Structures are given as structure tokens and as C-alpha cells.
Amino acid sequence: MSDPVFRSAGSGALLADFGSMIEEALFGRVLSLDRALATARPCWLQETVPAYTSLLIVFDPLAVDHGEVMAYVRALEPTPVDLLATTTHVVPVCYEGEAAPDISEVATTLGTSEEAVIAAHLAGDYRVFMYGFAPGYAYLGGVPNELRLPRKVAAVRGHAVGSVMVAGPQCLITTLPMPTGWWVIGRTPLRVLDPASERPFLFEAGDRVRFTRVGLAALQ
């Protein structure tokens, strides 16, 4: 399997890019390198940030340069990650009333029923690929083909914490009140972000997520 393509990301960071498709095979390589670096713990390593198809490697530029980091990474022999053995989180979702402001429009746009939209969302096989945009904002891949829509033309303000939304092949759970151009089809009482906790983010990159249906009473 070929080496990643390396790109400078400033004086103290290097991006290891494995490809351009959102797929588990590429993501497995990202996680393998991430975990190999975490295990090796080179003294110059400051942080790693996994994403869909790449790993950002943040290093001390006073200790090493980009070339030395590239050579070190190429010499590693990462152990393949068993994506089937990762943690699975069960996330309750209410698809009713004000918790799901876009579900009717999603059903109409897709030419199906609201129940079919809910069934498709529940049937998805979701994986946490990365965090981004806001604290605890986990990007999940795995939205079924029959539920994929492009983003809205314009963002809508005022969506509550815990809003479950989709766009294209991705699904998100909001951690802060925010505007979004994604389609909000439900809401969960589960909090993905707990700033007071020693482990503030519920998910780890690579974790699986399964949604289960609950009623409005679960949001009270």
C-alpha cells in the first residue's frame, strides 16, 4: 500500500493525506498511523488530529523539521486497526414535532414518507470520522444513499443542542445552539459534549454510532 502524500501545514505541522474518498479503508489507515504515533510517542510530537482521509501531525519545530517527521512516519509500521472492534454508542433520537423541523421537507424532497425517512436514518451504519467546526462536533459518515440530500441554500438560525442533522453522506449532532444549512430531522437528549468532564467528548474517532427512536417525553 502506498505511502501517504505529505503536505506542509505551517512551520510546526505536517499533513499526511491518504486519499480523497470518504471510505472506511482510507480511514482505517488514518487511525492506524494515529495510533502508531500515540504508541511511539516521539519527543517532538505535540498533537495528532485525524480526519476523513488525512492525519495532521503537529510537532515541535525546534526539535525536528518536516523532512525528519516524514522520514520517521515512513519508517513506522502501523498495525492495522480493527474497525469492527471499536466502541458502539447507542444514541436516542426523537423524530417528532419541534425536535424534527425539517423532516417533512426532507420526505417531500425525497419523494417518500416521514416514516420512511426515519427508518432510513435508523438503518444507517454510522462511524465517527473526525471532530471539527465546534467543540465536540463529531462528523459521522454512513448516511444511507436514500437519505442523502445536498445542504440547504441558506443556513437557518436557532437550532437546539442535540439536533440530529444530515447532509450528503454525513450526519451530525449539535453540541451548541447554532445556525446550520443541514437538514434537522431529530433531536437527542444525549450530550456529546460535557465541558466539566475529564473526558469532555463522548466519542472517539473510529467509534460506531447507532440511533434508536424515542418519543418527545425523552427530551423533557
More confident residue, 28 or 111: 111
**pLDDT given for residue 174 in this prediction:** 92
**pLDDT given for residue 63 in this prediction:** 94
- Distance (Å) of CA 203 to CA 61, 92, 124, 206: 30, 15, 17, 8
Residues whose CB falls within 8 Å of the CB of residue 12, separated by 6 or more in sequence, listed in order = 46, 58, 59, 60, 61
What does the chain look like in DSSP terms, one character per residue? -PPPEEEE-STTEEEEE--SS--HHHHHHHHHHHHHHHHH--TTEEEEEE-SSEEEEEE-TTT--HHHHHHHHHH--PPPP-GGGS-EEEEEEE-SGGG-TTHHHHHHHHTS-HHHHHHHHHH--EEEEEE-SSTT-EEEE---GGG--PPPSS-EEEEPTTEEEEETTEEEE-SS-EEESSEEEEE-S--SB-TTSSS-BS--TT-EEEEEEE-GGGG-
Cross-strand bridge partners of residue 207: none
The whole-number average pLDDT for the span 215-219 is: 91
pLDDT at 1 over 60: no
Per-residue pLDDT reduced to its tens digit, 45-85 = 999 988 888 999 999 999 999 999 999 999 887 877 666 65
User: Rounded to two decimals, what is the model's pTM?
Assistant: 0.81
The whole-number average pLDDT for the span 148-154 is: 92
**pLDDT given for residue 62 in this prediction:** 94
Rounded-to-integer distance, Cα 109 and Cα 112, Å: 8
**pLDDT given for residue 84 in this prediction:** 60
Which is nearest to 173 in space by CA: 137, 215, 212? 137
Could you name the CATH architecture of 86-219? Beta Barrel (2.40)
- Distance (Å) of CA 1 to CA 4, 39, 81, 181, 205: 9, 22, 15, 38, 22
The whole-number average pLDDT for the span 139-148 is: 93
Looking at the domain that runs over 5-83, which CATH code has it been given?
3.30.1360.40
- Domain boundaries defined on the chain: 5-83, 86-219
